[in-house]
Amino acid sequence: MTTAPLADRLTRVQGPLFFPVTPFGPDGSLDPDLYRTHVRAGVDAGAAAVFSCCGTGEFHALTPEEFAVAVAAAVEATGGEVPVLAGAGYGTALAVRYARAAEAAGADGLLAMPPYLVVPDQAGLVRHYTELALATALDLVVYQRDNAVFTPETVVELARIPRIAGLKDGLGDLDLLQRTVSAVRRDVPGRDFLYFNGLPTAELTGLAYRGIGVTLYSSAAFAFVPDVAMTFHQALTRGDDKTVARLLDGFFTPLVALRNQGRGYAVSLVKAGVRLAGLDVGGVRPPLSDPAPAHVDALAELIERGRALLEEPA
C-alpha cells in the first residue's frame, strides 16, 4: 500500500481494470500460489489495477479467512506496481469486517458491493456507504447495480465524503449516469471523482461511455485474453475506430451473445476462459455452475478467432 491518492494511481497506468478469478484446487480449497501467478500475469500484461475478490472473483463464495489470504496474495503479486482493490459487501457490519481485513492485508482500496438482499432507500444507502468509508483508511469505489441504484443527488452526497473515490456503474443507464456526472461536477466543483464502466463485458459499451467522459472500465476478457483486451483498450484510447469495430464485431459482440446463454456466465465463462488459457483455476463454487461443454467449445473457437483478428492489418 502506498500513500499516493487512489484516484491518481488508478488513472496513471493506461490499461483495463483487471478482475482476476479466484482459483480453487482439486479439493475445492483456495489456491493462493495459483492466484499469485494469475494476478502477476495480469500486471505484466498491462492492467491498470487489480480488483481482488470482487464479482468475477466469487466474493460471495469466499469465507472471510479465504478472502484475507487472497487479498494478501494479490498485494504480494503486484509488488506495489498497480493498486489492489478488494471487494467488501453484505450488510454494513460484515462489509466493515471485510474492509478491515482488506486493509490489514495491504489493499490500496475497496470496491463496495451492493448490500445483501434488501432494497434500501437512498438515505439508507448513504448511511451504509458512509459507515463503510469511515471504517478504514482506505478509499473506496461504490458499485452501482442491482439493489444499489443511486440518484444524482445521492452520488453528490457520497462524493462529498473524502474516502469515497468514485462510482462503478454496472447498471448501464447512460441518461442517469450523465445526469450524475453533471450533478457532481456542478455541486462538488474541483472534486476528483472517478467513474467506471462496470458492465459485464464493458468493451461492448466502451464507445458509449467514452462519449460522456467515462474512460475507465473493467475487462472480464482481460483475465483470459489479455492480448485481445489490451489491443482493444489501446485502439479505443487512441481513436482507432477501425480496430475497435473489428474487435467488437468479431470478438466482443459474439462473446456477449455466448455469455448470455447461461446464468452466471459473467463469472463461470470467464473462469472457463482462464482454464483454456492454460491456468487450471478450477470451477466455480455453488450456487454458480460451470458452463456447458458446448459453450466452452464455442469459447475456445471465439478465443482463436479473436487472436486471428489481431493479425489483420489495422
What is the DSSP annotation of 144-159? Answer: EBTTB---HHHHHHHH
Terminal Cα-to-Cα distance of the chain (whole angstroms) = 39
3-state helix, strand, coil in the chain (%, to 5): 50, 10, 35
Rounded Cα gap, residues 82 and 70, in angstroms: 16
Question: Which residue of the set 168, 209, 217, 265 is catalytic?
Answer: 168
Catalytic residue at 168? yes
Is 143 among the catalytic positions?
Answer: yes
What is the phi/psi pair of residue 283, to 5°? -95, -175
Q: Which of 35, 98, 129, 143 is catalytic?
A: 143
Q: String of b and e for 11-35 (b: at least 16 CB within 10 Å)?
A: eebebbbbbbbbbbeeeeebbbebb
Output the nine-digit C-alpha cell for 225.
485474453
**Sign of the dihedral defined by the CA atoms of residues 45, 49, 51, 52, in that order:** positive
- Catalytically annotated residues: 143, 168
